[in-house]
Amino acid sequence: MVKLILFDIDGTLVLSGGAGARALARAFSELYEVSEAMTGIVFAGCTDPMIVRDIFRVKLGREDRPGELQRVLDRYLLHLPEEVGRAEKAAVLPGVEALLAALSPRADVLIGLLTGNIEPGARIKLGRFGLDGYFGFGGFASDSEDRDEIARVALARGRQRAGRDVPAEDAIVVGDTPRDISCGRAIGARVLAVATGPHPKTDLAAHAPDWLLQDLSGTTAVMELLLDGEAARSRWP
């Protein structure tokens, strides 16, 4: 049996210390002379293209035109490495490095990404901490703007990599927002929610994930949950 474990990035694996928002704000400032492009924009759990389209509507009062989304994202990617590099509050979240190191060598586990980041942005954010090498596959906002569809892509790529038809219930989505929970549900996967992003446990509990943790520290217990969740469930506080 193979478990597919699909990790969200922002608020789940790492905090980018606002680097993504600043890189996008710089893109809008340079291309459209919009100041404070991110003020009042909700972005946790949203895909990069959704955020860009939202800024067009809120700050420019119109929809983006053909080619504009790509132009903004290209400019965003230009600034992202510098912003990620200098973000003082950027950090790997508790337990993440130990967990990835423990999962990675196992033959019965495949770890991938399931993120609202476009793939090059995802690699830049994880690369700052040397974590990108853990993830050979994933679903990204460069595959679809819709998180449920990104989840389908991630699952399909995981199955391809496993070389077999892994049942959806053997996939586990790990994320920090209600959108992570709902996209996991959309593909029939289990969901482990962590309160290391903007949502406290009480918020996340209302969306009924299979498991809910404060963070990913305590590698042995988290591994047990991921690999034998039903057994772990009965013992979990």
Q: What's the closest the beta carbon of residue 132 comes to Mg ion, in angstroms?
A: 16
Closer of 68 and 148 to Mg ion (Cβ): 148
Closer of 76 and 166 to Mg ion (Cβ): 76
CA gap 218, 200 in Å, rounded = 19
**Cα–chain-centroid distance for residue 53?**
19
**Is 8 among the residues that bind Mg ion (CB under 5 A)?**
yes
Q: What's the closest the beta carbon of residue 197 comes to Mg ion, in angstroms?
A: 5
The phi, psi pair for 9, rounded to 5°, reads -105, -70
Closer of 10 and 210 to Mg ion (Cβ): 10
- Taking CA atoms, 104 is separated from 92, 134, 144, in Å, by 17, 7, 27
Given the rule CB under 5 A, which of 7-15, 46-54, 135-143, 181-189 is the region that contacts Mg ion? 7-15
Closer of 8 and 48 to Mg ion (Cβ): 8
- Residue showing the smallest CB distance to Mg ion in the complex: 11
CA gap 99, 219 in Å, rounded = 5
Say which DSSP state 171 is in. Answer: E
Closer of 11 and 121 to Mg ion (Cβ): 11
Q: Which of residues 176-215 bind Mg ion (CB under 5 A)?
A: 176
Q: Which of residues 18-77 bind Mg ion (CB under 5 A)?
A: none
Q: What's the closest the beta carbon of residue 9 comes to Mg ion, in angstroms?
A: 6
Q: Which of residues 143-182 bind Mg ion (CB under 5 A)?
A: 176
Closer of 65 and 89 to Mg ion (Cβ): 89
- Taking CA atoms, 129 is separated from 10, 82, 84, 122, in Å, by 13, 14, 10, 12
- Containing 14, the helix (H) or strand (E) segment is strand 14-15
CA gap 25, 19 in Å, rounded = 10
From candidates 2, 5, 10, 139, binder to Mg ion by CB under 5 A: 10
Given the rule CB under 5 A, which of 10-18, 96-104, 124-132, 199-207 is the region that contacts Mg ion? 10-18
Q: Exposed, middle or buried by CB within 10 Å (0-12, 13-18, 19+), for 31? A: middle
Q: Which residues bind Mg ion (CB under 5 A)?
A: 8, 10-11, 176
